[in-house]
Structure 1
């Protein structure tokens, strides 16, 4: 397993640690949970950079990376909603997008079609979702307004992915 894939796997393995720290009440637990989430976001950037720069792109990584993204986003936004730090509608938008993309990826993969690469709008949506979630976790009030960018980008990227998946199936 190469370094990029190890970093991706670490994002998946850190989810239970994040949840424990997020929900167990102690002084600065949300700040620590925010730091862990921030580090998870950095590994997301780093694994992609390493994979592309050092020619470590692999089929395993192409499957694990989006899975790690989806698991992280769904977990963090559910945690935020359970603690009533975000409105439920934000959670529903995020879950819908992540489930649509994950379902589409599974269907594409099972039909032997190459994995659909993320679009720029999808990358921006993920970035702004990370910023939004981080700001809600650490209660960084000013940056909570990033949700005004994150949600439209999330919706557009979900629609974009559906169009690409449909086109991939039609064109083979």
Structure 2
């Protein structure tokens, strides 16, 4: 197994540890989850660059890399829905998950037609922004709930009721735009008569 594939596999293996530390109440558990998520995000940035630079692109990597990204992001957002202090409803999670299923279906249709669906600029922007937004939310949880840093009440309310929802909804909007771009670009592969 080459290095990019090992990095992708590492990202998959980090997901259960991320989930564990989001829920287990040990000292600085949000901080540990933040470090794990950030490390997994870094592997996402590295594996593709290394694979392309060193000509190490494999079918295994093409399959597992986007799957690892999707599971990592959906796992984090699902945990946020479960945390009352994050103020994230289920609607953004449903929209983001639906988009991921749709793009995965398009990739399958494309593969059956011998077409490779490369990640476009909107997909990359969506992934980067969503991961940064998740890291920002985890950092907030670490500062306030792990370290107990006191913030003025108005600041805390602004973060919980304005900043976090804005980050989540920007991610959701970018997700919808990137999904629409994929759908438009590969609509010709969808044949309702077959």
The answer to whether the superposition gives a TM-score over 0.5 is yes
Q: State how 1:6-21 maps to structure 2 within 5 Å.
A: 6-21=6-21
1:10-159 to 2 correspondence within 5 Å?
10-84=10-84, 85=86, 86-109=88-111, 111-139=112-140, 141=159, 144=164, 145-159=166-180
Question: Partners of 2:167 and 2:77 in 1: how far apart?
Answer: 15
Is 2:109–2:189's contact at 8 Å kept on the other side of the alignment?
Answer: no
Offset from partner CA, 1:49-72 (integer Å, 9 cap, x none)? 101111111121111111111111
Query: Which deviates more, 98-107 or 72-81?
Result: 98-107
Q: Distance in 2 between matches of 1:138 and 1:60?
A: 33
1:135–1:143 contact (8 Å) kept in structure 2: no
Count of residues in Structure 1 that have an aligned counterpart in Structure 2 = 169
Q: Per-residue deviation at 1:90?
A: 2.0
State whether residues 74 and 98 of structure 1, in contact with CA within 8 Å, keep that contact through their aligned partners in structure 2: no
User: Which of 1 and 2 has greater Rg?
Assistant: 2
Task: Return the structure number with greater relative CO, CA threshold 8 A, min gap 6.
Answer: 2
* Structure 2, unaligned runs of 5 or more: 142-158
Alpha-carbon shift at residue 91 of structure 1 (Å): 1.3
Q: Which residue matches 1:167? A: 188
Contact 2:18 2:37 (8 Å CA) reproduced? yes
RMSD (Å), alpha carbons: 2.0
Distance 1:137 1:82 in 2: 14
Alpha-carbon separation, structure 2, partners of 1:133 and 1:88: 15
> Quick check: 1:5 aligned with 2:5?
yes
Unpaired segments ≥5 residues, structure 1: none
TM-score, normalising length from structure 2?
A: 0.79
